[in-house]
Amino acid sequence: MAATSSSEEGRGFEYDVFLSFRGEDTRKGFTGHLYYAMEERGIRTFMDDEKLDKGESIKQLLGCIEKSKIFVPIFSKRYAESRWCLMEVAKMVQCQRLIIPVFFDVKPTHVRNQSGPFEAAFESHENNKHLSKKTLQAWRDALRTVGEISGYVLETDTDG
């Protein structure tokens, strides 16, 4: 992970924006374009494949959330399949900072109610004996909270 400079430490945040996304859904399309557009404008942006060393744990990833000022979860059809994505969004809600959700080819109601593609993902998580009911409820609560925030609803096109 990149070291912080003393000027960054003085502001309290290493990153201006933390992007949370399901890699295979949007990394090479929308999320990648958004990341590079923000970086070009001097917005310090965390995107896991750029700033997190391979093999680092979820603990380091959650630490990057704590070091970020604004959160942009990019909800896509397979977002809720990822336990890491769900841990990220729960941590964002816990941090109580500005969250700007992007609903990419999903509806806010899918996120809020864990319906549509989110329903099948949660059914799978519920069958995982290694996940506690408390963890699942925390994820559901976080999605409900963020699903109620006004954000951007985007539909895919040929450029993803």
CATH match for 12-154 among 3.20.20.450, 3.40.50.10140, 3.20.20.140, 3.40.50.620: 3.40.50.10140
Place of tokens 């996304």: 21
The predicted structure's pLDDT at residue 28: 75
Quick one: which H or E segment has residue 73?
A: strand 68-75
- Helix 83-95, helix 133-147: angle, nearest 10: 60
Q: How far apart are the first and last CA of the chain?
A: 28
| 41, 70 contact by CB (below 8 A) | no
pLDDT of residue 6: 37
Cβ atoms within 10 A of the Cβ of 119, count?
13
User: Is pLDDT at 138 greater than 50 in this prediction?
Assistant: yes
pLDDT, position 12: 83
The predicted pLDDT at position 54 comes to 53
Dig out the tokens for 61 from the structure: 């990833």
Q: In the chain, what are the domain boundaries?
A: 12-154
* Residues acting as catalytic residues: 88
pLDDT bin (cut points 50, 70, 90) of residue 7 is: very low
What is the pTM assigned to this prediction? 0.85
- For a pLDDT cut of 90, what percent of the chain falls above it? 71
Q: What mean pLDDT comes out for the span 36-54? A: 81
Residue 30 has pLDDT above 90, yes or no: no
Please, which pLDDT band fits residue 48 given cuts at 50, 70 and 90? confident
